[in-house]
Amino acid sequence: MSNVTASTTGMRTAPIRSGFWLVVLGAALWGVDPLFRIILLKSLTSSQIVLLEHVVLFLAAAPVLWRHRAELKKIRLRQAGALMVVSWGGSAVATILFTKALSSGDLNAVLLLQKLQPIFAIGLAAMILKERLPRNFGPLIVLALAGTYLLTFGWTVPFGHVNSFISVGSLMAMGAAALWGGSTVMGRYLLGSMSYETVTSLRFILALPLLFTITSLEGAPWQVNGGWGTTSAIAINLLLQALLPGLLSMLLYYKGLNTTKASFATLAELSFPMTGILINWIVYHQLVTLPQLVGFALIWTALFFISNQQSKQAQAVLK
């Protein structure tokens, strides 16, 4: 290969590699969510917080969607179905299922089953998007999942008996994992015919009717105690939560997903629990344990090799 050809190939594969790391960065921003949510939960329910967050996001996304309104004319039945999976399934229903699972099942078993999300995403990507995995992808999946396990549970076994997995809570956790995995795959599908700005905007806007319904059925009162100081703190935290782990993270995520396979992206999302551990260490002064350090190393090793795998695949296609 000549120097000119090699340079051109490198330029073409650079966006693919950077896209993967944009997914990593976007998912990592999800980990800062608790910084803002803790104050909000003192005055509002989870569904109220999510609804208000989506109202803020609607105000930010509506002008963007208006600029890209020509793309709406191209939406067909398949795209509409994919949008419902992304907005209703990934944003609303999955979160509700996971929250209910935490309250009705064994906590550790629920957390462990939620880690199956990459398996669902990779399987759906193979069936729906016809993605083919590289030869050495299997060991990298195992490496990444092992690192996530250590981040969450350390050296311990997270369940006492097999019955922990045979419960309504466990089924809800698996349903949430499947919906989140499906949301990744459907997002990648939509980016084949839409811009990442349009997909991000529709994700937030289409979820609003469902969130209004859920909040209304919940029937919780809307009240904030503590005067203007508390109200201002809630408003600032709500705004920051909506714009940082909400809007900015999803813009980065979908921009990166535009050039990243869904099967690769779902493993890139494992940067999310790593951020959570760092937040606990820096803000809440919780010590990072040896198993968590090993988990960090395993996940970053897997992410590095997965990024290289995707670049090699792109180079093979361009040759």
| 31-45 tens-digit pLDDT | 888 788 777 877 888
Q: What is the mean pLDDT of residues 197-224?
A: 90
* Three-state secondary-structure class, residue 238: helix
Q: Which of these, 93, 257, 118, lies nearest to 181 by C-alpha position?
A: 118
Is the separation of the CB atoms in 283 and 35 below 8 Å? Answer: yes
Residue 200 above 90 pLDDT? yes
From the list 29, 71, 12, the residue with the least C-alpha distance to 252 is 29
Q: Which is it for the CA torsion 85, 86, 92, 95, positive or negative?
A: positive
Q: For the whole model, what pTM was predicted?
A: 0.85
CA 239 to chain centre: 20
Mean pLDDT (whole number) for 305-312:
82
Are 234 and 40 a contacting pair, CB within 8 Å? Answer: yes
Position 1 confidence tier, pLDDT thresholds 50, 70, 90:
very low
Res 158: pLDDT:
65
Per-residue pLDDT for 232 more than 60? yes
Kindly state the tokens that stand for 270: 């494992």
Of 10-19, 92-101, 176-185, 259-268, where does mean pLDDT reach its minimum? 10-19
Q: Tell me which long-range contacts 33-38 makes (C-beta under 8 A, separation of at least 24).
A: 33/241, 33/245, 34/276, 34/279, 35/279, 35/283, 36/237, 36/238, 36/240, 36/241, 36/244, 36/245, 37/237, 37/241
**The predicted structure's pLDDT at residue 4:** 38
Over residues 87-146, the pLDDT tens digits come to 999 888 887 787 777 666 566 666 677 778 898 999 999 999 999 887 788 899 999 999
Rounded Cα distance, 15 and 22, in Å:
10
- 10 Å CB burial of residue 219 (0-12, 13-18, 19+) is exposed
Q: What is the pLDDT of residue 188?
A: 95
Place of tokens 């906590």: 107
- For residue 160, what pLDDT band results from cuts at 50, 70 and 90? low
- With vertex at residue 236, the alpha carbon angle to CA 233 and CA 242, rounded to the nearest 5 degrees, is 135
